[in-house]
Every structure is written in C-alpha cells, then in structure tokens.
Amino acid sequence: MHKIGIIGLGHVGTTVAHILLLKGLADELVMIDQDEGKVEAEYYDFADSFARTETSAVLKCNDYGELADADIVITSFGDIEATARTGDRFAELPINKKNAAEVGQKIKASGFKGILLNISNPCDAIVNELQKATGMPHQRIFGTGTFLDTARLQRAVGAHFGEAPQNVSGFVLGEHGNSQFSAWSTVRLDGQPISQFADAGQVDLAKLDEEIRQSAFRVVAGKGYTSTAIATCAVRIVEAIFNDKHEFMPASVYLEQFGTYIGYPAVIGKNGVEKIVPVKLPAAEAEKLAASAKTIKEKEDA
C-alpha cells in the first residue's frame, strides 16, 4: 500500500496527481491546498474518473494529519505568474520561502517520517528552507532539481541530430534556474562524446546550452505555465523510490562542500538519496558549479 501527499494543487501538483493515479502508484492520495474549493473540485473530478479507469485510490483532502503515515510527500506550491513575468524562478522566492516555513512546520507536526520531494521554485533554495523547517535528514528530503533540465538537454541534442532523446546521456548541473549549465564533458550521443561532434562543426554547444536554459520560458510563453514534463520527472522519482531502483539521476541534493542543495547526480532508492555520485568535471565546469551554488545561497539569504 502506497500513500502519497501532494501539497499545492496548481497546474503541476494536479498533473502529478493525475499521472500517479493513472499509473496506479498511489493507493491513498492526500491533496492539500490553501484553496479549499480547488481541492474539492479536484477530488470530484478524479473520483468521477474512477468508473472509467483501470486504477483508483482513496482520496483525502486538506488534512495534514493524514501525512503521518505517508510514504512520500510532494511539495508543489508556488506562483508561476511571478516566474513568467520575470523569466527568473527566484521571483517566487518571497512567497515560497514563507510557504516553505509554514508547510514545513505542519509537515513536521504531522509526524511525517517518509520522503519529501520538492518541486516548488526556486527548487534548490526551497528544499533548503523545507529542510530547515522540518529538520528532516538530507537523505530523505530533496528536489527534482535539474532532472527536468537534463531531459530538455536530451530532447534538444536528440532533435538536433534527428535521434531519440534516450540516445543522449549526460547532465545539466547547478541551480534549476538561470545559473544552470550543460555539463558537456558528461554528454554522450550514441555513446560518443558530444565534444567530437562539436569539434567537427556539427553542433554549436553554446547556442544549444542557451536553448536548453530557455526551454521552460518557451513553454510558459505559449501556455502560461509548465506542467507535463516536470510532473513526469516527479513521478519517475516516485517510481525509483517505490521500486527501490537505485536509479542514477540528477536531482537537487545537499552538497556539503557548498552548504546548499543543488542539481547534481545521485542514486535514488527506497531511502531517498542513497548516495551522491562525485563527477569529475573539467576546471571550467567545476567553476560554473561553484558559481551556481553561490548564486543559490546569496539569493536565498538576501
């Protein structure tokens, strides 16, 4: 029996809930949002679908006490309009810093002992804030981080060469935001270093890196928010936890050397962050990672 809580039923939280229910990953789903009318509406919309779906779940609404025995809690509160207006996920920091403190205290008071996965932006800073509020060990609280940005890298590189995104490996590292960077030293296409294609003049890596960084805002410009891709990433992480996959992926994890959460490769399993995997980066990329960590800390503390 799997029990999942979702806090924040905006576009992302609702999409996460929908995918979890369709895949049968939640036997019980606790939906929490400040807008009680929205929670009630989603309750009935999902419940009305169960007569036509292969799976169903017990739905519970706006009760933090129900999180006490939850396996996973997903936080997806926020104000996407602030990000859309500014083109900077840190525009959501003032409201989400307050939300993280309030939500974190309520999660702690509930007696929750599971794994907390954060989506709310700015993702890395908000994981920091949630960890402070809950006192949870770093292993059991982390964020989606650059898992989505890495998927965007796979899509962009694959599309450039007319190949499937699954044929591309490697990482986007750093902040899930403007200081992120494509770690081209880690990227492979069909098992071959991307550098060899760049050296042959087949791809402009600087141009592609900027395209990847701006991918979210291209989506936001067209429909006002992002939802499907990030929700899919969150659900993939849920599957890695429930199936104890020990799956290697970039996520927003706590790096001691920087004193902050940041997008970096880790192994995810039933205990959350099973281990963080050191990646040997060339000097230029190592500097970018350090600079991104500094950005997160400075903006969070401002």
Does residue 9 have a known ligand-binding role? yes
Q: How far apart are CA 280 and CA 6, in angstroms?
A: 36
Catalytic residues: 176
How many CA atoms, within 13 angstroms, populate the side-chain half-sphere of residue 172? 30
Domains contained in the chain, number: 1
Does 158 count as an annotated binding residue? no
Q: How far apart are CA 49 and CA 42, in angstroms?
A: 11
224 annotated among ligand-binding-site residues: no
Range of the structural domain that residue 126 is part of: 3-143
Does 15 map to a domain? yes
Is 164 inside any structural domain? no
Cβ burial, residue 48 (10 Å; 0-12/13-18/19+)? exposed
33 labelled ligand-binding: yes
Question: At 79, which CATH number?
Answer: 3.40.50.720
Q: Is residue 184 part of a domain?
A: no
> Does the residue 54 lie in any domain?
yes
pLDDT tens sequence for the chain (302 residues): 999 999 999 999 999 999 999 999 999 999 999 999 999 999 999 999 999 999 999 999 999 999 999 999 999 999 888 887 888 888 899 999 999 999 999 999 999 999 999 999 999 999 999 999 999 999 999 999 999 999 999 999 999 999 999 999 999 999 999 999 999 999 999 999 999 999 999 999 999 999 999 998 899 999 999 999 999 999 999 999 999 999 999 999 999 999 999 999 999 999 999 999 999 999 999 999 999 999 999 999 97
Is 8 one of the annotated binding-site residues? yes
Q: What are the structure tokens assigned to 84, written together?
A: 């859309």
Integer Cα distance of 10 and 302 in angstroms? 27
Could you tell me if residue 114 is inside a domain? yes
Q: Determine whether 163 is exposed, middle or buried from the number of CB atoms within 10 Å of its CB (0-12, 13-18, 19+).
A: middle
In a domain, 23, yes or no: yes
Check: pTM over 0.95? Answer yes or no.
yes
Q: Tell me how far apart the alpha carbons of residues 255 and 247 are, in angstroms, rounded to a whole number.
A: 19
pLDDT value of residue 122? 96
Asked whether residue 12 is marked as a ligand-binding residue, the answer is: yes
Q: How far is CA 38 from the centre of its chain?
A: 23
- In this structure, is residue 70 part of a structural domain? yes
Q: Look at residues 156, 185, 180 and name the one whose alpha carbon lies nearest to residue 168.
A: 156
